[in-house]
Every structure is written in structure tokens, then in C-alpha cells.
Amino acid sequence: MRVAFLGLGGMGMAMAGNIAKAGHEIVVWNRTRKAPQGFDAKVADSIAGAVGEAEAVATMLADDHAVESVVDGGLLDALPAGAVHVSMSTISIAAARRLTESHQARGRAYVAAPVFGRPDMAAVQKLWVVTAGPAAAVERVRPVLQAVGRGITEYGEEPWHANLVKLGNNMMLGAMLETFGELYALMRKAGVAPERFLEAANSLFQSPVYANYGGMAAERRHEPALFKATLGLKDMRLGLAAADEFGVPMPLMGLARDSLLQAIAHGGADKDWSVLALAAQKRAGLD
Amino acid sequence: MRVAFLGLGGMGMAMAGNIAKAGHEIVVWNRTRKAPQGFDAKVADSIAGAVGEAEAVATMLADDHAVESVVDGGLLDALPAGAVHVSMSTISIAAARRLTESHQARGRAYVAAPVFGRPDMAAVQKLWVVTAGPAAAVERVRPVLQAVGRGITEYGEEPWHANLVKLGNNMMLGAMLETFGELYALMRKAGVAPERFLEAANSLFQSPVYANYGGMAAERRHEPALFKATLGLKDMRLGLAAADEFGVPMPLMGLARDSLLQAIAHGGADKDWSVLALAAQKRAGLD
Amino acid sequence: MRVAFLGLGGMGMAMAGNIAKAGHEIVVWNRTRKAPQGFDAKVADSIAGAVGEAEAVATMLADDHAVESVVDGGLLDALPAGAVHVSMSTISIAAARRLTESHQARGRAYVAAPVFGRPDMAAVQKLWVVTAGPAAAVERVRPVLQAVGRGITEYGEEPWHANLVKLGNNMMLGAMLETFGELYALMRKAGVAPERFLEAANSLFQSPVYANYGGMAAERRHEPALFKATLGLKDMRLGLAAADEFGVPMPLMGLARDSLLQAIAHGGADKDWSVLALAAQKRAGLD
Amino acid sequence: MRVAFLGLGGMGMAMAGNIAKAGHEIVVWNRTRKAPQGFDAKVADSIAGAVGEAEAVATMLADDHAVESVVDGGLLDALPAGAVHVSMSTISIAAARRLTESHQARGRAYVAAPVFGRPDMAAVQKLWVVTAGPAAAVERVRPVLQAVGRGITEYGEEPWHANLVKLGNNMMLGAMLETFGELYALMRKAGVAPERFLEAANSLFQSPVYANYGGMAAERRHEPALFKATLGLKDMRLGLAAADEFGVPMPLMGLARDSLLQAIAHGGADKDWSVLALAAQKRAGLD
């Protein structure tokens, strides 16, 4: 199908490449012009130029503001009747609702499809997609979703539900990082090396995510950043904002956010968000 | 080798059975006399009767008090020179140190080897063993450890280090349960079924432990108890006591313990400790 | 001096009355027309009608939105050159900064002067005022501030600093309520009546605020609401938003906010915000 | 009446002096012999020598262990029938119960009467006493209690209730210190001096305790220690142990304890426990 892909950051470039390789006819656009890396695609000069002929328009942008700027700055005006905008960015549930409404008001289809994974996983088509939106629209963009990931979970008709699930999973990662931080602090003060403790944790959890993040935290290997602390903080905030809206106390998530604030206050802003795990160790008097 | 196995609860019975099936010559003892289930073994009438001829004595008992009662109530007196006491219970690091000292004072070898897993996993030899103690003593009981589990991680010469690693892993499970509780509270109030949210979490973490506990929590399936809430609380307390001893703030673990106290205060004492995940949901005003 | 007073809720009516009684020439306005209670004043039909001749314009309104609506809906257009707008509402520091800028852009003076106390204290001129703004402007409205309270603390040139101090104090009250909640839970389960425990706390702290809130919490006397739970939640949120902006982890304040969310989720929305203290007791399994 | 006073630390010396000045016939004893400072008293060479003739025996000792050592090391054997042991130390509720039982078993009267205040307040007879025990026994030692303090609150027949009330009040102080820590962190990063913020807090709370501790925390004046961090930690632990016994989640108190652990881990062990307030500031990236 004819796909427009807007947003060629680390994630977007890899995802667009996989869509192209799946045989779709793809046009790309980025705020600052970028050439496709490792795949062939037309490069549009404007949002409207990218979107005008598309059957599916995928956006992969930094945050609420970036998505809403692109939508209001040409996407929605140019989106053909019958085309579907599939929004793959991690955004707030409030923005997801505003976008749903603005598309509905114009008679256009909006689907949320945020993805799990980092650029290295995107490159090898290992993302996981969570999606929600009107069933027919989801069906139409399914080939695009299949092209970027190893699987899809669907969350019904309300696009913002997919964004909430995505934020919820990122909060789970934040909680896991704080968990590692506290345990590593204890182990270090008791004379057990974090790397060694991690072996036991891995034999228990048998999770590649624990192995990966637990290893980064054990080795204090936070650079280069795969996902920056400030981006992690953004997602923790969006998750906690959703909790606040629904009147749900999430004290553990509050602590994980606080540890991330602490890590950022101690110079971690541009490091990988696994620096969260250092906060508990500093509180315990460790370097 | 000649093995004495003391403590035939749900875990111990299964472990003793696997030791017998591995070809060792086994004598069992339990405070209240129990017959072997599913394997052949001599049944001793007294601790001394079980221990007197053994090369390895394994204990799998409820708590600090039970282990120390058995050790002081005959085990240490009857333990042959050259035999090794391998203590597989989940006990405090303080008790582990006292036991180490009492064995040393008598010239006897003490090895800690607590296990991960529940009775269903013990039955199919899927426990994971963490062990620590004098290298030669660990080497001598290795066949016993291999007989009960799918793998072993070793933590050096200090037996209590193995107990600390075990407690640390149980604390990680407690943190995971609180994480599920908070997320399920949010999802339910936002209209996403916990079971559905769990699918996304599973695709992210790919951990059998997340799938298992997350499923129990999603379905609020806390009976019959695989591991009772009061036992979970015991282990959280022992872990936090270790943190206190080493001067390590563990606020997240404190919250997980608090949620478990809450769940127990609301009638969950005899349910599976996955009831911890209900506490956050109650705080959010959900049943 | 000629004073316009906008906003005649429970607090505003009492404050306007005290300004009138201090001998100032006062015009009042409320969104829904209200007659002065217990004092004489002109009643304006419009914001412009109230503000047009004033030397000082005091606003005492519900929240950010109400203040900004009144400012944009006539106040700023009608505010005479040389007059001062003294904003006494509890608002966010972000709104305080926007208001400062919008007044500066029009060459008008803006002073923040939020107050501590509840309507019963306002009635007897027992409020405490915290104020900040350009020194000359603060000086001009000092007679108005003196008319409403028992004292004034000044926080320099930046109006939002006064709002932050006010929010900080409300957060301290929230922390105090959670403190009472946790202690009362412990005392009740141990067989000591909260009222009796409070006697000891009073002898230690010797604070009328502890005596007052501690008494309400001990007697579970949350109706009628002197300050509604939802308003308390608003202020905790504004305080935590400021913490977030400045990158300050405030875990204790997060817990107090969470207890308020819990109390609201259990039916406390319209009760006095001292219901916060019930949350800890519910977590402990008490009614 | 004839009073034996055991324990002449900073608190005990001042209290014994006030008892002497009230006209009682006093004998003092300390583990390491000390002469009375500022008052006349017989100095006993042994516990038995001090206690043998007394109508009331007051103990003011460091902790559970010290009190139980003195009781088992001569006090209980020498305590005359009809005399009352009034235990004024801050000890655990478990130790208070053990002492109650050991005295009962010997037919001797035991009263708990822990005090609020620090040595400077003891010197000027400004302590507050909380007491509990058999009514007749409390009545007999009332003159002693009146001699040391400005007031007494009574908590019925169970001595440990008085200890719990005392621990509860110390926990309230810990919560207050964490509150100051978090607020000062926010104020400093926002450009408001803690000393200035404290003025507003004082005008709100009007509590000498807030003024005193808030001032120490604002000025970071933690030496010399009036009450050492390690002693504060001891009391927080005893309070939280009571919470644990009664199954009461106290997350805020857990955080306050964690901040104290952090402050101690960063070199604060021998400073005044108001160093607790530095922990939140460090987490926020401040010195």
C-alpha cells in the first residue's frame, strides 16, 4: 500500500525501512530533511506532499507537541478521505483524545499504535505494537504494523487505550529499574557484586528485559543512551498524569519517578534512563 | 551418597523425592512423622537417628526458629565429622551467621543453599539453587543440589550471602506484585481489563514469572495459596531487616511490604501472597 | 483607599468585609451577583464597573482558570494606570508567572498575596498573608493586606514566590494529616484512643493547627467541610507540579497526595480534606 | 519520699537534680560512677545499694538492653516490697512488656513514664511525662513525675502504652523533619531561602517545635547534637517495629526512617538527628 512515514529519528528511520522492505510504496518526511538510510523511498518536501496520496500515514514523533504540530501543520488538511493516520509515538492520553476528536471532526480515521522497543530492536523488526482505534481502520493499517514488529496486541476502539497501555509498560520498566537500584545498593553494602546477584535474578525471572537493563545497571553502563533519562521522565510523567486523572494512587511509580528526578539532578539527564538505578545506591552512601 | 533430609513440608517432600530418585541413599525425618510420598526412604524416629550415619544432611524447614531448634535439638550433636549440613531453608542472614558460627565451633561444615521455586516446580526438579559456604563443603554436597534443581549459582565462602541473595529475589517478586497492583488499578479505572494489559506486559518482559504472577493477580486467583501471604511477609521482613543492618534505604520495598500488610489486614493472611496486588486496587476505590 | 474586591466566596466575603470595616471605599463584584453580608459596599454589575475607579483591585477566586478568566475578561483592560492588582487566590506558580507577564506587558502592577486560614479565621481577621511583587506596588496595597490579616510575610519581587510559599505550607498540612492518619492507625490497633494520643502530641507540638486538625481527624469530624478534599487535592497537585518543574523529588508529599486520592476514591470528595487521615487507617484494616 | 535514681546521662542528671530540689531524699547510681552536678545526693556503689531502701526507683537509661541489664543485674532482686520501679527510658514496647511481666512475677510494681524533651528542657523542668501502669503505683510515683516535668498525660494500666505514645511522638518529629527537608529542597531550587520559608511555616503552625527544628534544618546547624541521629534512628526503628507487630502500614514513617538512614550513610551518625532534613535536599542535587 501507499504509506507516508513522518518522523525519521532513530526509531522512525528503522521502522520506515522495514515498511519499505515489506514492499510498500513509501514516502518519507522529516522536519529537517533526511535521506532514507538503507532503503529506497521518495523524500517529500512538505507534510502535504508526503500525505496527499497516501492510504496510510504513520507518524513517529518526539512528543505531544510534535505530533499535534504536524497534524495541525498540514497532515489533517492533506489526509485523503479513506486514508488512516496511524500514530505510533508515545504521547499522553490527553493528546491521544484530542487527536481522535480532531480527526473525527474532519471525518478522518485515527489509529494509535505505539511500539515497545528501542532502535536496535526496531532495526531487526523486533518491536511489539499495541494498537487501538476503529476496527476497520486498524484492519487497513495492519500490514504497516506487521512490517515493523514481531507482534501486535489490540485494545479496542479507543485509541488512547493503546497509549495508556504503552505508558503503563514504561512505568513497569521504571519500577524494575528502581527495584534493581535498591537491591544493588543492598548487595554492594553486604559484599555481593551486582553482576553476581543479577545471575540469580535472571535465573528467577528469565526475562531478556531484566537481563538487559539489569546488566546495564550492574555495570553502570549508561552511555551511549539508548533511551535518554529525560525521555524516560517524560513517560513516567505522562503515566502518572493518567493515574492522577483517574484518581489512582501509584506510590511505587511515584518513587521511581523521584529516583529518576534524583538521577537527573545528579547529572544524568543525557544518559540512558537506566541511571535511575543509581539513585538508590547514592542514597545508601555509595558512589 | 548417604543423605539425611529433615523437613517434609510441600517443598521438602518433593526435594527429598528427587534426591532419592537421583540414586542417593536417603533417610528422612519430620517433626510430625510423615511417610515418603512417591519414593522409597528410611524414616527416622529422631533427628539423631536420621543424621548419625549421613554424609550430607539437608534441612528444609519453616523459619529461623525451626532450623535453630533442629540444629540445637540433636542435629549438631549427631552430625558426623566430615559430614556437611546443607541448609536449604529461607532464613534471616542473622540466623545464617549464628548457624555458621555454631557449626564452626564444633568443627562441622555448614553450607547455605536456599532454593527458588514453589512446590509444583520442586516436583519437576525445576528449582534454582543459590549456594555459599566453604568451597570443599559446597563441592561435597553438589550432587544433592544438582538432584533438586535445574541450576546452581554460587556466592563464595560466606553462607549468609546465599541467604541474602534469596531474600533479595523474594523482594524483587514483592516489588513486581506491587507494580502489577498499581497498574491494574489504573487500567481498571481507565477501562482496560488487567488480563489484556498483561498481554502487553508479557510481550515486553517475556518472563514466565511475570506471566504466572501477573495472571494470578489479573484473575484475582489467590486460593489455594502456593506461597502464603504470611510467608511472603516473613521474607519481606527478613530482607528489610538486612537492609536496615547495612543502612540501605529501600523505600520501594517498604511500600511493597506495606501493601502486603494491607492485604493481610483485609483478610488475606492465608491466601497466596499475590494478594499483595489487591492492595493498590483497594486504595484506588476498587473491590 | 478605593478598593475593588472580586470574588465573594466564603473567604472573599469575610475579607471584603474586613477591608470595608477598615475604612476603605469598597466596590464588590462576584460572577453570580451577591450582596455584601455584614458590611456596606457598592455592588458592581461588571468587572469593568468594579475595577474602573479603583486604586487597588483584590481578587479572591477559586483557581487558575477563574483568575485568568477575570483578568482576561475585563480586569486588565479596565485597570487604571497606577492601580495595583493584588491577587490573593491560591494558584499555580505557572499561572502566577503568566499573570505577572500579562500585567507587565500592559504596564500594570501585579502583586501576589495569598492567605493562610479558613473562612472562620478570615471572619475574625486572623489570616496570615504572604506577599511578593514590586516593592512599590506591595507598599501601595499594604493597607488592604493589613485589613484582612494578623500579619504579613514578604517574599521579594517575584509574585510567584509568594504562591510557592503558600503551596508549600499547604503541602506541610497535607504531610501533617498523613502523619496523624498513620499514628492514629497504629494507636487504634494497639488500644490507645486517638483523642488520648493527641493530648501527648499537643503537649509536644503546642500548635493550634495540630490541635485543630488532629482533633478533626481523631473524631472523624469531616463535615461540614471547612476546606474540601478536592480543593486540598488541587493544592497538593499544584505544589507537586512546582516540585516537578524544579526537579525536586518529594516522596513524602507524593504519599500524602496518594492518601488524599484514596480518601476521595472512597467517597470523601466533598468532605473536609482532613479525611486524608482516614486513608492510612483504612489501609490498616480499620473503618 | 526516698527515691533511687539510676542513670546519670545528660537527661538523667538534670532529672535527678529536679527530684532532689523538690525535697525528696535521693540516692543516685550510674554504671560509671558520677558525682551529682548541682544538687546533693548520696552516691551508691551498687544497684542494690541504691535501690534497697527506696520507695521509688527511677531508671533513665540508654536503651532496652541497658534497662534490662540493670533490672536483671540487681534492681529487681533489691526492690523492696511496696516500692515502685518507674522506668523513664525510651524503650521498645516488647521490652516494656517483658519488664512488666518480670516485675509482676516477683510481685513488684512497674510503671512506665517516658519523657518528652531534651537535656536543656530537662534542666529547667520543662519535660512532658507520659505514664501508664497500675493506678495505685502511678499514684505513688506522681510526686517524682511532677518534679521532673511541666505536665503528665496518663495512659491507663498497661505500661507499654506509654512507651508506644512516646515512640509515636518521636515518629511525628521524624515526619516533620522529612517535611522540612522536602520543602527546603523545593524552596532552595526555586530561589526562596529556607529561613524565609520557615517564617511562613511558623506563622501557620505557631509551634515551638517547628520553630526549633525548622530553624536547625534551615541553618544546617546539626552540631553539637542535642539528640544524635543514631538515637533518632533507634526510636524510628522501635516505632516501626510496633507498627509491624500490629500490622499497620506506615509508609510516610518508612520514608522518614529511610531519609535518616541516608543522612547517616552520608556521615551524619553523630550529628543531631535534624540532619534527616538534609537527605531530601541531597536527593534534589543540593549540597
pLDDT tens, chain B, 287 aa long: 999 999 999 999 999 999 999 999 999 999 999 999 999 999 999 999 999 999 999 999 999 999 999 999 999 999 999 999 999 999 999 999 999 999 999 999 999 999 999 898 999 999 999 999 999 999 999 999 999 999 999 999 999 999 999 999 999 999 999 999 999 999 999 999 999 999 999 999 999 999 999 999 999 999 999 899 999 999 999 999 999 999 999 999 999 999 999 999 999 999 999 999 999 999 999 99
> d(Cα B154, Cα B163) in Å, to the nearest integer?
11
Give the closest-approach CA distance of D190 to chain B in angstroms: 26
**C175, C182, C249 ranked by CB distance to D250: nearest:** C182
Task: Please name the amino acid found at residue C210.
Answer: Y
Identify the three-state secondary structure at position D124.
Answer: coil
C-alpha cell at A19: 515498511
On whether both D77 and D130 belong to a single domain, the answer is: yes
Q: According to the model, what pLDDT value does residue C38 have?
A: 93
> d(Cα C111, Cα C92) in Å, to the nearest integer?
14
Contacts of A207 by beta carbon, 8 Å cutoff, 6+ apart = B205, B206, B207, B209, B210
Give the closest-approach CA distance of D111 to chain B in angstroms: 31
- From the list D262, D215, D212, D211, the residue with the least C-alpha distance to D236 is D262
On whether both A27 and A146 belong to a single domain, the answer is: yes
Interface test with C, best of B260, B281, B283 (most C CBs within 10 A): B283
Q: What is the pLDDT of residues B144-185, one digit of tens each?
A: 999 999 999 999 999 999 999 999 999 999 999 999 999 999
Q: Cβ–Cβ of B285/C262 closer than 8 Å?
A: yes
On whether both B107 and B238 belong to a single domain, the answer is: no
Catalytic pick from D21, D42, D126, D166?
Answer: D166
Which chains pack against B, by 3+ Cβ pairs within 8 A? A, C, D
Catalytic pick from A42, A166, A228, A271?
Answer: A166
Q: According to the model, what pLDDT value does residue B189 have?
A: 98
Task: Please name the amino acid found at residue D153.
Answer: T
> d(Cα B66, Cα C111) in Å, to the nearest integer?
70
* D32-D37-D40 Cα angle (round to 5): 105
On whether both D131 and D204 belong to a single domain, the answer is: no
Which of B157, B181, B203 is the endpoint of a domain? B157
Arithmetic mean of pLDDT, A9-15? 96
> d(Cα C44, Cα C67) in Å, to the nearest integer?
18
C-alpha cell at A76: 489533517
Q: According to the model, what pLDDT value does residue D225 have?
A: 94
- Strands ordered across the beta sheet of B149-154: B115-116, B127-131, B149-154
Beta bridge mates, C5: C28, C58
Task: Please name the amino acid found at residue A211.
Answer: A
Quick check: is D189 catalytic?
A: no
Q: According to the model, what pLDDT value does residue B116 have?
A: 94
Give the closest-approach CA distance of D190 to chain C in angstroms: 7
For the ranges A65-74, D115-124, D238-247, which has the lowest average pLDDT? Answer: D115-124
Give the closest-approach CA distance of A213 to chain C in angstroms: 23
Q: According to the model, what pLDDT value does residue C62 have?
A: 93
Average pLDDT, chain B: 97
> d(Cα C238, Cα B198) in Å, to the nearest integer?
33
Q: What is the pLDDT of residues B39-80, one digit of tens each?
A: 999 999 999 999 999 999 999 999 999 999 999 999 999 999
> d(Cα D99, Cα D109) in Å, to the nearest integer?
10
Q: According to the model, what pLDDT value does residue D280 have?
A: 98
C-alpha cell at A128: 511489539
Q: What is the pLDDT of residues D142-191, one digit of tens each?
A: 999 999 999 999 999 999 999 999 999 999 999 999 999 999 999 999 99
Q: Cβ–Cβ of C158/D246 closer than 8 Å?
A: no
Which of A157, A180, A206 is the endpoint of a domain? A157
Q: According to the model, what pLDDT value does residue A2 have?
A: 98
> Taking an 8 Å Cβ-Cβ cutoff, which residues of chain D contact chain A?
251, 258, 261-262, 265-266, 279, 282-285
Identify the three-state secondary structure at position C61.
Answer: coil
**C116, C171, C186 ranked by CB distance to D242: nearest:** C186
Residue with cell 498497661: D158
Catalytic pick from C42, C126, C166, C189?
Answer: C166
- From the list A60, A47, A70, the residue with the least C-alpha distance to A90 is A60
Q: According to the model, what pLDDT value does residue A80 have?
A: 97
Q: Cβ–Cβ of B168/A187 closer than 8 Å?
A: yes
Other C-beta atoms within 10 Å of D269: how many? 15
B54 contacts B82 by C-beta, under 8 angstroms: no
Interface test with B, best of A145, A204, A235, A236 (most B CBs within 10 A): A204
On whether both D137 and D29 belong to a single domain, the answer is: yes
- From the list C165, C163, C113, the residue with the least C-alpha distance to C137 is C113
DSSP tag of C132: B
Give the closest-approach CA distance of C147 to chain B in angstroms: 43
Q: Give the residues of chain C that fall short of pLDDT 50.
A: none
Interface test with A, best of C182, C261, C264 (most A CBs within 10 A): C261
D155 contacts D131 by C-beta, under 8 angstroms: yes
Q: Cβ–Cβ of B249/D261 closer than 8 Å?
A: yes
On whether both D134 and D227 belong to a single domain, the answer is: no
Give the closest-approach CA distance of D262 to chain A in angstroms: 5
Domain CATH code at residue B33: 3.40.50.720
> d(Cα B157, Cα B134) in Å, to the nearest integer?
5
C-alpha cell at D85: 520501679
Catalytic pick from B21, B34, B42, B166?
Answer: B166
On whether both B127 and B213 belong to a single domain, the answer is: no
On whether both A49 and A116 belong to a single domain, the answer is: yes
* C58-C60-C63 Cα angle (round to 5): 135
Domain CATH code at residue A278: 1.10.1040.10
D3 contacts D26 by C-beta, under 8 angstroms: yes
Q: Output the CA torsion D195→D196→D202→D208 (10° steps).
A: 20
Number of folded domains in chain D?
2
Which chains pack against D, by 3+ Cβ pairs within 8 A? A, B, C
Q: Peptide bond preceding A224: is omega within 30 degrees of 0, i.e. cis?
A: yes
Arithmetic mean of pLDDT, D50-78? 97
> d(Cα C148, Cα B146) in Å, to the nearest integer?
79
**C130, C250, C256 ranked by CB distance to D186: nearest:** C250
Arithmetic mean of pLDDT, A160-174? 98
On whether both D198 and D168 belong to a single domain, the answer is: yes
Distances (CA, A) of A199 to A54, B152, D51: 49, 10, 60
Residue numbers in A near D261 (CB within 8 A): 283-284
> How long is chain B?
287
Residue numbers in D near A269 (CB within 8 A): none
On whether both D212 and D266 belong to a single domain, the answer is: yes
Buried b (16+ CB within 10 A) or exposed e, A151-189: ebbbbbebbbbbbbbbbbbbbbbbbbbbbbbbbbbbbbb
Q: Cβ–Cβ of C251/A264 closer than 8 Å?
A: no
D53 contacts D80 by C-beta, under 8 angstroms: yes
Q: Cβ–Cβ of A265/D279 closer than 8 Å?
A: no
pTM: 0.96
Nearest CA in chain D to A283: D262
Residue numbers in B near A167 (CB within 8 A): none
Task: Please name the amino acid found at residue C269.
Answer: A
Q: Cβ–Cβ of B262/C285 closer than 8 Å?
A: yes
Domain that holds residue A51: 2-157
Q: Cβ–Cβ of D283/A283 closer than 8 Å?
A: yes
> d(Cα A197, Cα B43) in Å, to the nearest integer?
37
On whether both B50 and B189 belong to a single domain, the answer is: no
Which of C102, C137, C156 is the endpoint of a domain? C156
Q: According to the model, what pLDDT value does residue B273 have?
A: 98
B174 contacts A172 by C-beta, under 8 angstroms: no
**B237, B254, B265 ranked by CB distance to D254: nearest:** B254
> d(Cα B192, Cα C22) in Å, to the nearest integer?
58
Arithmetic mean of pLDDT, D113-132? 94
- From the list A73, A99, A102, A92, the residue with the least C-alpha distance to A170 is A92
Interface test with A, best of C233, C234, C244 (most A CBs within 10 A): C244
**A249, A257, A265 ranked by CB distance to C258: nearest:** A249
Task: Please name the amino acid found at residue B210.
Answer: Y
Q: According to the model, what pLDDT value does residue C208 have?
A: 96
Residue numbers in A near B242 (CB within 8 A): 186, 190
Other C-beta atoms within 10 Å of A255: how many? 26
Identify the three-state secondary structure at position B104.
Answer: helix
On whether both A254 and A135 belong to a single domain, the answer is: no
Nearest CA in chain D to A259: D283
